[in-house]
Amino acid sequence: MNYLMTWDQAGHRWRKRYKGKTYSVSCKALEVSATKEESREAANEWWTDKLESLNEHGNEEVEE
């Protein structure tokens, strides 16, 4: 099991701190069950896509 983000149990969301900013995504936004194990893969995919987008745009905030 590989976790690219940190699980926030109280908020049922994932968070990641990167270059001084905090990024988060909820299980609802990922359209998955609000559990750590069932949402891990979707959260990893979301972060991988987000990181790619940030790197393409020089770490500017990118609308999705």
26 assigned to some structural domain: yes
17 domain-assigned: yes
In a domain, 22, yes or no: yes
Q: Which residue has the tokens 């299980």?
A: 27
Number of domains into which the chain is organized: 1
In this structure, the number of other CB atoms found within 10 A of the CB of residue 5 comes to 21
| Residue ranges in the chain whose pLDDT is less than 70 | 59-64
Question: Are 27 and 40 contacting, i.e. CB atoms less than 8 angstroms apart?
Answer: no
For the whole model, what pTM was predicted?
0.85
The answer to the question of residue 1 being in a domain is: no
Give residue 28's domain range.
6-56
Task: Give the pLDDT score at 40.
Answer: 98
62 lies in some domain: no
Q: What is the pLDDT of residue 25?
A: 98
Instruction: Determine, yes or no, domain membership for 29.
Output: yes
